[in-house]
Structure 1
Amino acid sequence: MPEEGSGAGAGGAVADRLAAVLRPVRAGNGFEEALEQILQVVRLGLVPAGGRLPAERELAERLGISRVTLREVLRVLHDQGLVEARRGRYGGTFVLPRPDTGGEDELRRRVAEVDIEDVLRYREVLEVGAAGLCAAHGLAGERAERLRAALARTHDAPLAEYRRVDTLLHLTLAELSGSPSLAGQYAAVRASVNGLLDCIPLLVRNLEHSQQQHTALVTAVLDGDADGARAVMREHCAGTAALLRGFLA
């Protein structure tokens, strides 16, 4: 039962195109990067509407992730109406047609107004720099308590409030860096990032992962581990970037 076209070569052509997109992910952001890659497969039409994605075992092996993580990725795609699971002899995960709606047109218009790569790279430079400065110069007393309190608010936040308190945590770190210029520039770029984040769904798995990274980040900063703080922040930014590229690029 060929997925695309006809003839013996069709399946091989699909496999070649998938090999160009699907590759082992990095351990730090496995869920986010796997989601980015499979979204690329779907949005680029490498598997057309009505076509079947590779079997779970093959996908997990290509991406270098567990089948548990893969199923969480596929669940997100299902919830977004991009794929459906079918049972039986010819079952699997199938790509659904994407309706051309006014909402999709509006999304494309909003995204077209922003240079996504520029925003993401500038954000990473500012965030990594702020984390390194805070750790290198040291936070103590009231300044350390401000950062701890900002982290605590993210742990207690309901889903609808999460992005707001997440933003406040990152802004707090920028403000504590000791550079008003950096903090001001970060506030501006974060507004652009939030505009992009508003275009994609809140994913519980991603938020749980973000919380783990937030905790590791604050720990590194308060321990004075500048290299560690920069590494965690760089990984954290990469996870967000993977989701945005996957959904919006």
Structure 2
Amino acid sequence: MAAEWRPVRQSRTHELVLESIEEQVLAGKLKAGDRLPPERELAPALGVSRSALREALRVLETVGVLVAHAGRGADAGARIVRHPDDALGRLLRLHFGLGSYSLEDVLEARVVLERSSFEAAARHAPPEDLAVAGEILDGLRRPGIGPEEFNDLDTRFHVQIARSSGNALTSTLTAAVRESVRPLILRALEAAEDWPATAAALNAQHAALLRLVREGDGEAAADLAEEHIRGFHGTLVDGSPQD
């Protein structure tokens, strides 16, 4: 079923281009992996300028549903993709920075999401997914690891558990919410009075969480995940009151 392009109204042109492309996706006429027609063909088909079309395509690239390749040949042009994790994290981080959400909002969202993901992982996680989580934990426990690398691996550990739960949306939301406070968590880790002791305490909880998931004890894993998140993330809330 081929996509069908027709001229759009001229007001708020780039938004109408977005609506037209969205219609094609929702109708099943555009799928991940499909390429859009070249700009020189798509712009006149929609009845818009190439600058308006490019503005719409840049928006789609920002939200993670399109990637554009410059140049000529088979790989040139814009292609529909599915890359929601980074895009949602970026947007949520900006809204958090602008004050759309408070630290308390993010904390409670993390608790809800990660209780669900740890409990589901205890029921559904494939052994190979938990093996990856174990490798990440090994990296977290590496002697001499610094706060920045620890923060990156910590994020990967929590997202990996969410992925192993079998719910792709929970995984994406967990990654986005955790990414939104990454800079704050890094600053808190860097400010720890006794960094090795802080890392060891957090890793003890990571190890216990992974053990409970492997044992299939979802309720205990969910309770410990909440304690783990409120314990460290909660210090950010206590130390940084929001308006």
TM-score (norm 2): 0.53
Q: Pick one of 199, 202, 215 that aligns with 1:210.
A: 202
CA deviation after TM superposition for structure 1 residue 127, in Å: 0.9
Within 5 A, what are the aligned runs for 1:64-75? none
8 A Cα contact 1:138 1:224, kept in partner: no
Amino acid of the structure 2 residue aligned with 1:220: L
The one of 171, 182, 191 aligned to 1:183:
171
CA contact (8 A) 2:151 2:186 kept: no
Kept after mapping to 2: 8 A contact 1:154/1:211: yes
Q: CA deviation at 1:192?
A: 1.2
Residue of structure 2 in register with 1:248 after alignment: 240
1:70 alignment partner in structure 2 = none
| 1:126 match | 113
Cα displacement (A) at 1:111: 8.0
Please report how far the alpha carbon of residue 114 of structure 1 lies from its aligned counterpart in structure 2 after TM superposition: 4.1
Unaligned runs of 5+ in 1: 1-108
Tell me if the contact between 2:122 and 2:217 (Cα under 8 Å) persists in the aligned partners.
yes
Partner of 2:225: 233
Quote how far apart the aligned CAs of 1:233 are: 0.5
Shift of 1:151: 1.4
Q: TM-score, normalised by structure 1?
A: 0.52
DSSP-derived class of the 2:166 partner: coil
Q: Which has the larger radius of gyration?
A: 2
The aligned residue for residue 156 of structure 1 is 142
Shift of 1:201: 4.2
Q: Which residue of 1 aligns with 2:155?
A: 167
Cα deviation, residue 195, structure 1: 3.1
Distance apart, 1:221 and its partner CA: 0.3
Aligned to 2:133, which of 135, 147, 153?
Answer: 147
> Could you tell me how far apart the structure 2 residues matched to 1:243 and 1:192 are?
16
| Change over 3 Å in CA distance of 1:201–1:112 after alignment to 2 | farther
Count the aligned residue pairs: 140
Does 1:221 pair with 2:192?
A: no
CA displacement at 1:193 relative to structure 2: 2.1
| Partner AA of 1:174 in structure 2 | A
Q: 1:154 to 1:214 in 2, by over 3 A?
A: same
Q: 2:164 is matched by which residue type in structure 1?
A: L
1:123–1:186 Cα contact (<8 Å) kept: yes
5+ residue gaps in structure 2? 1-95
Letter paired with 1:121? E
- Post-superposition offset of 1:118: 0.7
- Following superposition, which runs of at least 4 residues in structure 1 exceed 6 angstroms of deviation? none
SS of 2:188's equivalent in the other structure is coil
Distance 2:121 2:206 in 1: 14
Flag the structure with more relative contact order, 1 or 2, with Cα contacts below 8 A and sequence separation at least 6: 1
Structure 1 residues 148 and 198, CA, compared in 2 at 3 Å: closer, same or farther?
A: closer
**1:40 aligned partner:** none
Would the alpha carbon gap of residues 111 and 246 (structure 1) be closer, same or farther in structure 2, given more than 3 Å must change? farther
**Distance (whole Å) between structure 2 residues aligned to residue 147 and residue 178 of structure 1:** 14
Contact preservation (8 Å) 1:111, 1:248: no
CA-CA distance at 1:112 after TM superposition: 4.5
2:104 to 108, 111, 117: 117
Measure how far apart 1:206 and its partner are.
2.8
